[in-house]
Chain A
Amino acid sequence: MLAAYLAIPFFLVVAAGIGLFALAAGFVLGPRRPDPRKAAPYECGFEAFEDAHMPFDVRYYLVAILFILFDLEITFLFPWAVSLNHIGTAGLLAMVAFLLVLTIGFIYEWRKGALEWE
């Protein structure tokens, strides 16, 4: 059973290997002519006004929290959908109820304007 998963770490290693190979090739084959202007961050040909690492307004912050909620709900749906044939009508109805709650919550968010983040 678990042996089938063995290919996955191999894939990860080979994929990382390809990346490493390309990057190493780039470092080895490419020229190295450091220059302070070349290493400066791109800002359309002018010197940057300030450091880019600073706190600033992420406007979709509320939507991002909703996103986490919904993403969690999807994880509930996966095992349910797989076992639909075994859990019968009761299981089906239970999830329908859950989905209804979810939908009501979604409509509430919509009406409250949580999705109007601009």
Chain B
Amino acid sequence: MTMALSGQYMTNGLLAAGVLLLKVLAVIMPITVVVAYLTYVERKVIGYMQRRIGPHRVGYRGLLQPFADVFKLLLKEVLVPASANRFLFLTAPFLALVPALATWAVVPFWRGAALANVDAGLLYVLAMTSMTVYGIILAGWSSNSKYALLGAMRSAAQMVAYEIAMGFALVGVIMASNSLNLDRIVVAQAGGLHHWYIWPLLPLAVVYFICGVAETNRAPFDVAEGESEIVAGFHVEYSGAGFALFFLAEYANMILISALVSIFFVGGWLSPFEGLVPILGKPGLHWLALKMAFFLFCFLWFRATFPRYRYDQIMRLGWKVFIPLTLLWIGLECVWKAVGFGPWF
């Protein structure tokens, strides 16, 4: 009797685990495809900004280019420098990749559609997004190359610079929503375009997005890579698949930051026409996707426009502009909280 019951529990458990696994794959697989096509879009968008046409040889209008890139990278030799710490050298790409993908567990795509709809979601996001940088530092250190080491040092400096401002910006969001649950943060913004947090928290939104750009090592904060300064920085010694993992992590992080900014500040899956237009006003995944696309475009736009910061200047920006600004805004929110303000507090 007990045996049979536990056996049934086992099958049920296995079944549930299988279903969960499929769900996880259903999230991760589209993300990897989006990553692949983000590289294509990046090359096309920046190409057009620079009066070029971008990739156009592989497939119709170059649409198969990302696959060609993936296969090329996988077919290259995986080099491990002789003087490198072999174990750490091969572990580092995982440290960068795993958080970039695992954070998606708590990201809600529409109402209740997060795989892990947990109450500590925002803490998890904060913890995971901060992890990526350790992969970079470890990669730089374990390569045993001076350029890589400089890249790692810069990455550490950068983290020191923006992590706090990022945290403060999120505190601002929590103060408005009173929840760490990403799902509820979006729901709290329901009620129309003017309920979104971007209006009262605009400076925090800007700070958070800029910190996100910095965290993903994208221009103008790409000092850890610093193409023209330290050649490729932390991944100068990586080739083939190892490099591909860093690449995947960077782009997955870009998409993640876009999703998070959309969720925290511009109402996630909510429609901007909520309550105004009957069909367009319906919430849905497409709104989230549109908002993410906009922020992703901004990533590319920045890259085509701005020169690169020097890494001590990022530190100055973080400590002397962002932290005072976010502190000030939290103080302001305290006042709003006490006296009530608009539909948000």
- Chain A proximity of B190: nearest CB distance (Å): 18
- Chain B proximity of A14: nearest CB distance (Å): 5
The verdict on B101 contacting chain A, using a C-beta distance below 8 Å, is yes
Alpha-carbon gap, A39 to B78, bound state (A): 11
Main secondary structure of the interface of A (DSSP, over half): helix
Question: Interface readout for B128-151 with A: 1 if CB under 8 Å, 0 if not?
Answer: 000000000000010111111100
Name the contact of A42 in the complex, choosing from B124, B180, B231 (C-beta under 8 A). B231
Alpha-carbon gap, A77 to B160, bound state (A): 19
Residue pair A7, B115 in contact (C-beta under 8 Å): yes
Alpha-carbon gap, A85 to B143, bound state (A): 50
Residue pair A71, B144 in contact (C-beta under 8 Å): no
* B11 CB contacts on chain A under 8 angstroms: none
* A78 CB contacts on chain B under 8 angstroms: 122-123, 171, 174, 180
Given known contacts A67-B164, A82-B178, A29 and B316 CB-to-CB distance under 8 angstroms? no
Residue pair B146, A31 in contact (C-beta under 8 Å): no
Residue pair B240, A11 in contact (C-beta under 8 Å): no
Residue pair B163, A33 in contact (C-beta under 8 Å): no
Residue pair A89, B338 in contact (C-beta under 8 Å): yes
Given known contacts A26-B242, A27-B241, A60-B315, A10 and B101 CB-to-CB distance under 8 angstroms? no
Alpha-carbon gap, A85 to B177, bound state (A): 10
The verdict on B28 contacting chain A, using a C-beta distance below 8 Å, is yes
Q: Which residue of A lies closest to B180 (CB)?
A: A82
* A64 CB contacts on chain B under 8 angstroms: 156, 160
- Chain B proximity of A28: nearest CB distance (Å): 9
Question: Interface readout for A62-84 with B: 1 if CB under 8 Å, 0 if not?
Answer: 01100100110010011001111
The verdict on B118 contacting chain A, using a C-beta distance below 8 Å, is yes
* A83 CB contacts on chain B under 8 angstroms: 178
* B25 CB contacts on chain A under 8 angstroms: 14
Q: Which residue of A lies closest to B93 (CB)?
A: A19
Given known contacts A10-B24, A19-B97, A60-B315, A82 and B179 CB-to-CB distance under 8 angstroms? yes
Chain B residue total in the interface (Cβ 8 A): 83
Question: Interface readout for A6-17 with B: 1 if CB under 8 Å, 0 if not?
Answer: 111011101110
- Of A11, A44, A51, A63, the most chain B CB neighbours within 10 A belong to A11
Q: Which residue of B lies closest to A77 (CB)?
A: B171
Residue pair B331, A117 in contact (C-beta under 8 Å): no
- Chain B proximity of A96: nearest CB distance (Å): 5
Main secondary structure of the interface of B (DSSP, over half): helix
Name the contact of A40 in the complex, choosing from B82, B98, B174, B242 (C-beta under 8 A). B82
Residue pair B28, A42 in contact (C-beta under 8 Å): no
- Chain A proximity of B142: nearest CB distance (Å): 9
The verdict on B293 contacting chain A, using a C-beta distance below 8 Å, is no
* A10 CB contacts on chain B under 8 angstroms: 17, 20-21, 24, 105, 115
Question: Interface readout for B72-103 with A: 1 if CB under 8 Å, 0 if not?
Answer: 01111111111110000010011001101110
Name the contact of B144 in the complex, choosing from A53, A67, A106 (C-beta under 8 A). A53
* B20 CB contacts on chain A under 8 angstroms: 6-7, 10
The verdict on B236 contacting chain A, using a C-beta distance below 8 Å, is yes
Name the contact of A92 in the complex, choosing from B23, B319, B334 (C-beta under 8 A). B334
Residue pair B118, A27 in contact (C-beta under 8 Å): no
Given known contacts A41-B83, A52-B149, A63-B315, A4 and B174 CB-to-CB distance under 8 angstroms? no
Given known contacts A12-B102, A15-B97, A42 and B167 CB-to-CB distance under 8 angstroms? no
The verdict on B312 contacting chain A, using a C-beta distance below 8 Å, is yes
The verdict on B197 contacting chain A, using a C-beta distance below 8 Å, is no
Pairs of residues from A and B, 8 with the lowest C-beta to C-beta distance, nearest first: A26-B241, A41-B145, A15-B101, A81-B174, A74-B167, A39-B82, A7-B116, A7-B115
> CB within 8 Å of B: which residues of A?
4-8, 10-12, 14-16, 18-20, 22-23, 25-27, 29-33, 36, 38-44, 48, 51-53, 58, 60, 63-64, 67, 70-71, 74, 77-78, 81-85, 89, 92, 95-96, 99, 102-103, 106, 110, 115, 117-118
- For this complex, 15 residue pairs linking A to B, each with C-beta atoms less than 8 Å apart, are A8-B102, A11-B101, A11-B105, A19-B245, A22-B248, A29-B74, A30-B240, A39-B80, A41-B84, A42-B145, A42-B231, A53-B141, A63-B319, A74-B171, A117-B315
